[in-house]
Structure 1
């Protein structure tokens, strides 16, 4: 199996914080932004013009940064990830060009002015997906996302950068009482609107384009790292808030990862899927 690197967001967020401490997860897009912002500070005024001049030394620094973080999680970042990492970083430093998956809000539940959860409707859409089962949950997410990342960054039939959409989602599977999370995960990337009608085909034979039917989901936001412990806790928390948790799928959930401009705390959601 081709092992391509580490994870961005959506199921195993984390990495190493600014103090060198373990945040209990993987590299995310926010880590790349943090690295870029550090590089901007080092270079001077941090203008977009400066940032456009990505050198080979910058490529190496980015790759080594990912490798250093990943090593602590028993994940190997291959040399051929240098170009996709640089490409994703360069194309996303503006942050305004990320497309969010469209949805309609069907309802909200609040308590004391605080949003507890939201009920949403997502239309049918085309997703690029890969399902892996590695030795650990974190490895499954890491290697899964990196292969999706290569697809986004040129390993597709167009040979071009496809554009980032948010959230990147991870489908996680649990036992009946939600106490154990399977090491088999599906990492999924929603195709940008311009590619929905004719999705570029992946070069990687294990990545498949899947049509997800319309779905109603109950979502609860949370911040911080996403790992096996936090996911179980978030599943339990949302289940307690729902009036009819039995109306939702009981053994498969979605962890959605968003970009946090502050990059000090992850912005995530746990999704319950309503049964058809």
Structure 2
């Protein structure tokens, strides 16, 4: 009986883990891939949203550069090669939305940029090992984030403007968040010209501040 219960619990935990990367129809703005990184919305205010993400496996590449787009181009090439079969199993890996970019929040000549692709549900438990030593499998740990959404094309100006706006909103609300870095996420192909969906995230510290005002 105990063995049966242990097996059942393990099975349920596996289902729960996989369920956080799943059918894109569960996310209204995730329409270009079959699977999406899922989340629970805690609350929404006039200028930010609070979300909780369970742990999920990512494939990532990090670059340090004086220009964001040079770093991201190099990282993208490595990650695209990985999902195209440049891994020890030689398998193609399904693309999942969003693409996640972690950026240092400081004014220095060079910055570190980490681009990540979310691994699909079928590879969450056992991801193919990267053939490129500069590509790693890592985990987005269980996290609560403050989110601001913006449309149009993602560029340095739009990112900085929305990061600044989100930071100001959070400070006005008395919210505590990690100011050392932030995330930028994109849900669209470069070929998509209309109704683009982008986001900036700050990681919440402690109990998130929220307002019932919508």
Q: TM-score scaled by structure 1? A: 0.58
Q: For the Cα contact (< 8 Å) 2:33–2:97, is it kept in 1?
A: no
In the TM superposition, residue 182 of structure 1 has moved relative to its aligned partner by 4.7
Q: What are the Cα deviations for residues 165-189 of structure 1, in whole angstroms up to 9, with x where unaligned? A: 10001001122xxx66853200011
SS at structure 2 position matched to 1:138: helix
**Correspondent of 2:44 among 89, 98, 108:** 108
Q: For the Cα contact (< 8 Å) 2:58–2:118, is it kept in 1?
A: yes
Q: For the Cα contact (< 8 Å) 1:172–1:182, is it kept in 2?
A: no
In the TM superposition, residue 144 of structure 1 has moved relative to its aligned partner by 0.6
**Larger strand proportion of the pair:** 2
Counterpart of 1:209 in structure 2 is: 137
Match runs of 1:86-101 below 5 Å: 97-101=33-37
Counterpart of 2:187 in structure 1 is: 258
In the TM superposition, residue 134 of structure 1 has moved relative to its aligned partner by 2.9
Q: Distance in 1 between matches of 2:91 and 2:110?
A: 34
Q: Distance in 2 between matches of 1:162 and 1:233?
A: 34
Counterpart of 1:218 in structure 2 is: 146
Gap regions ≥5 residues in structure 1: 1-94, 111-115
Match runs of 1:30-49 below 5 Å: none
Q: Distance in 2 between matches of 1:190 and 1:181?
A: 29
Q: For the Cα contact (< 8 Å) 2:103–2:113, is it kept in 1?
A: yes
Q: Distance in 2 between matches of 1:263 and 1:163?
A: 23
Gap regions ≥5 residues in structure 2: 1-30, 207-214
**Correspondent of 2:124 among 181, 184, 196:** 196
Q: Distance in 1 between matches of 2:84 and 2:56?
A: 20
Q: Distance in 1 between matches of 2:59 and 2:108?
A: 26
Q: TM-score scaled by structure 2? A: 0.74
In the TM superposition, residue 109 of structure 1 has moved relative to its aligned partner by 0.9
**Correspondent of 1:272 among 197, 202, 211:** 202
In the TM superposition, residue 133 of structure 1 has moved relative to its aligned partner by 1.3
Q: What are the Cα deviations for residues 45-77 of structure 1, in whole angstroms up to 9, with x where unaligned? A: xxxxxxxxxxxxxxxxxxxxxxxxxxxxxxxxx
Aligned residues: 173
The alpha-carbon distance between structure 1 residues 181 and 145, as it changes in their structure 2 partners (threshold 3 A), is farther
